[in-house]
Structure 1
Amino acid sequence: MNGVEIEKAAIVCKLLGDKTRLTMLKLIEDEPCCVCEFVEIFQMSQPSISQHLRKLRDAHIVKEERKGQWIFYSLNKQSEHYPLLQSILEQLPDQKEKLVQLEKNGTRISCC
């Protein structure tokens, strides 16, 4: 059997149905981001951002790596969901401009 079971795919699709989470995933498609960067990009509270990331982490869509007191999130390319996720993300517009804007503002990886 190839691919993901329907039930698991439905869970992933439900998580990706949120614009913030979908944008987060597109942002970390090529490089990890820290919670503080997401706070700046989305202009949301840290607890709200952390809640979105926890849902993605619990579904094994993202993984986290601690660097000192900071946690960086990246796509979990070993996840059984990654091929599905990858096919969705490749259809979305690039979000790198948001990271470039952080750099221009001097707030890119401000936590490190």
Structure 2
Amino acid sequence: MEMKATARVLKLLGDPTRLTILAILNQRECCVCELLEVFSSSQPAISQHLRKLKDAGLIQEERRGQWVYDSLRPQSEYYSLLQAVLSYVPDQGETIRKIETVNPAARCFWQRGE
């Protein structure tokens, strides 16, 4: 690991929204509409956070039809660092239960009339 790149990753982890996103993705994959249930931010703002994490190689996306699901990228050279940091982050079980209860992906699906 290079010092400047590691510092850049740590700076990304210093943002509470990005750190929470990573903690959620450490437990399950999510699409943007699911993350919108957790944060009082706009879809473009959440997408921007995801883009920064993806550009750093910390997360990956998988397209399934019209949906894009984000997850942690275990192949990242920073994966072990990320796991170490996430071990100090509060469990996101309650947040994930909220996402699953509201089930925003189904709502988005039906709103599109598919």
Same structural fold, with TM-score higher than 0.5 when normalized by the shorter chain = yes
Taking the aligned partners of 1:13 and 1:70, their CA distance within structure 2 comes to 29
Alignment of 1:51-62 (within 5 A): 51-62=48-59
- Between the aligned residues of both structures, percent identity stands at 51
Alignment of 1:62-77 (within 5 A): 62-77=59-74
Q: Which runs of 5+ in 1 are unaligned?
A: none
Taking the aligned partners of 2:70 and 2:44, their CA distance within structure 1 comes to 15
What's the TM-score once normalised by structure 1's chain length? 0.89
- Runs ≥4 residues deviating over 4 A: none
Q: Which runs of 5+ in 2 are unaligned?
A: 110-114
Query: 1:27·1:95 contact (CA, 8 Å) conserved in 2?
Result: yes
Is 1:98 the counterpart of 2:95 in the alignment? Answer: yes
Aligned to 1:107: 103
Q: Report how far residue 44 of structure 1 moved.
A: 1.4
Q: CA RMSD in A?
A: 1.3
Q: Report how far residue 7 of structure 1 moved.
A: 1.2
What's the TM-score once normalised by structure 2's chain length? 0.88
